[in-house]
């Protein structure tokens, strides 16, 4: 509200200064030896900018909003033509009265000069209308564009919140499934799993509400998740982790961007009776570019397996489109019974949508 008031006052000041310059311009050329004559000429001069002022603000405050912006273009043009004719005639009459003492000097040129001056004045008035439409139209377009951007921002924030609300139960559901499986194997491990889960929930419930978090916090969350998963992994499962964010551990980015990839790797890369593996690589490269690479053995789940809703990667793709539309690459693929995923993000201060 304060910013709006400031803008309105600034616009008012600009209008006052602009018209003051227009009206005061002849005063710069007043001669000391003919002050009275110069002042009379100045008063005559004021007739023209006064007419411009009337035309300008009649359009600025009424006609453009009433007709032009309401798509009543013919009415707008007709009204302005009528207004220009009336103001032009009044200007002619005022000049006739002011120059009445010089009538005898140029009577033979009077009719022609009257027509030329009247046409000149009307063209100038029409030009004033055009300038007013351009100025008012520019402000209208700017205001409309700002409203459109605000609506788009609100829509995007709402969609991001909806995506987060899908992601958190999805993550919790999968993690609880893992703990449930541990209870039958080892009470000690299940207790440890609950402890690790509590650490992660603290992050999900509190830090995830932030628009961005330091990369170090995201890595701590990933490490807790991996530690939780390793409690229930079979002996034939190998986990290789290579995380190096020493270049910029406090870099800010949106939370929970990598967990879907890691969840997916454990979900589809684990087999109870075959050798399997998950390779996790997360690094900050030159230029503060974050690269996350996942490679895992590929044991796709059957349609009967309902251990997850399958929204993880699709959710991630949409969040990336909203948060980093021009500053990320995300690729996945399967080759020789191995699943590959690579996510590259270039967070910058202009990236991301708050929400």
Q: For residues 248 and 318, state if they share a domain.
A: yes
Q: What distance in Å separates the CA atoms of residue 215 and residue 248, rounded to the nearest whole number?
A: 8
Q: Number of structural domains, the chain?
A: 2
Tell whether 31 is covered by a domain. yes
Contacts of 72 (CB under 8 A, 6+ apart): 66
pLDDT digits (tens, 9 = 90+) for 67-90: 998 889 999 999 999 999 998 888
Tell whether 178 is covered by a domain. no
Q: For residues 214 and 316, state if they share a domain.
A: yes
Cα-only R_g, the chain:
37
Tell whether 77 is covered by a domain. yes
Q: For residues 195 and 67, state if they share a domain.
A: no
Most confident region among 5-14, 87-96, 298-307, 317-326 by mean pLDDT: 317-326
Tell whether 64 is covered by a domain. yes
Domain boundary among 148, 166, 195: 148
Contact, 126 vs 56, CB < 8 A? no
Q: For residues 232 and 340, state if they share a domain.
A: yes
Tell whether 160 is covered by a domain. no
Q: Which structural domain, as residue segments, surrounds residue 82? A: 2-148
Q: For residues 195 and 288, state if they share a domain.
A: yes
**Which of 248, 254, 306, 305 has its CA nearest to residue 282?**
248
- Phi/psi at 69 (5° precision): -75, -10
Mean pLDDT confidence for 206-233: 81
Q: For residues 110 and 54, state if they share a domain.
A: yes
| Position with higher pLDDT, 308 vs 73 | 73
Q: What distance in Å separates the CA atoms of residue 223 and residue 18, rounded to the nearest whole number?
A: 64
The CATH number that applies at residue 200 is 3.30.565.10
**Which of 70, 67, 98 has its CA nearest to residue 81?**
67
Contacts of 220 (CB under 8 A, 6+ apart): 203
Tell whether 352 is covered by a domain. no
């Amino acid at each position: 509200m304060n910013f709006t008031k400031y803008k309105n006052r600034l616009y008012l000041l600009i209008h006052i200064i602009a018209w003051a310059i227009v009206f005061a311009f002849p005063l710069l050329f007043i001669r000391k030896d003919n002050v009275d004559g110069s002042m009379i000429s100045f008063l005559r001069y004021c007739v023209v900018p006064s007419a411009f002022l009337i035309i300008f603000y009649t359009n600025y405050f009424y006609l453009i909003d009433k007709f032009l912006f309401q798509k009543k273009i013919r009415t707008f043009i007709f009204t302005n033509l009528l207004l220009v004719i009336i103001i032009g005639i009044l200007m002619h009459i005022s000049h006739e009265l002011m120059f009445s003492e010089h009538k005898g000097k140029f009577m033979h040129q009077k009719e022609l000069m009257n027509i030329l001056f009247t046409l000149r004045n009307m063209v100038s008035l029409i030009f004033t209308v055009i300038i007013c439409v351009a100025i008012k139209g520019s402000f209208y377009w700017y205001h409309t564009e700002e409203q459109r951007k605000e609506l788009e921002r609100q829509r995007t924030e709402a969609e991001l919140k909806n995506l987060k609300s899908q992601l958190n139960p999805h993550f919790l559901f999968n993690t609880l499934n893992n703990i449930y499986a541990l209870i039958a194997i080892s009470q000690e491990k299940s207790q440890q799993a609950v402890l690790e889960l509590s650490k992660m929930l603290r992050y999900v419930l509190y830090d995830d509400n932030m628009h961005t978090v330091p990369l170090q916090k995201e890595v701590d969350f990933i490490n807790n998740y991996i530690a939780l998963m390793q409690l229930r992994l079979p002996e034939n499962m190998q986990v290789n982790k290579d995380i190096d964010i020493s270049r910029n551990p406090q870099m800010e980015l949106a939370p929970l961007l990598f967990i879907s990839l890691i969840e997916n790797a454990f979900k589809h890369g684990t087999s109870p009776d075959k050798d399997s593996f998950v390779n996790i690589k997360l690094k900050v490269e030159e230029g503060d570019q974050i690269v996350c690479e996942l490679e895992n053995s590929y044991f796709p789940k059957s349609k009967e397996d309902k251990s997850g809703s399958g929204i993880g990667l699709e959710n991630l793709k949409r969040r990336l489109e909203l948060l980093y539309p021009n500053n990320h690459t995300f690729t996945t693929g399967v080759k020789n019974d191995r699943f590959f995923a690579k996510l590259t993000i270039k967070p910058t201060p202009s990236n991301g949508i708050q929400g």
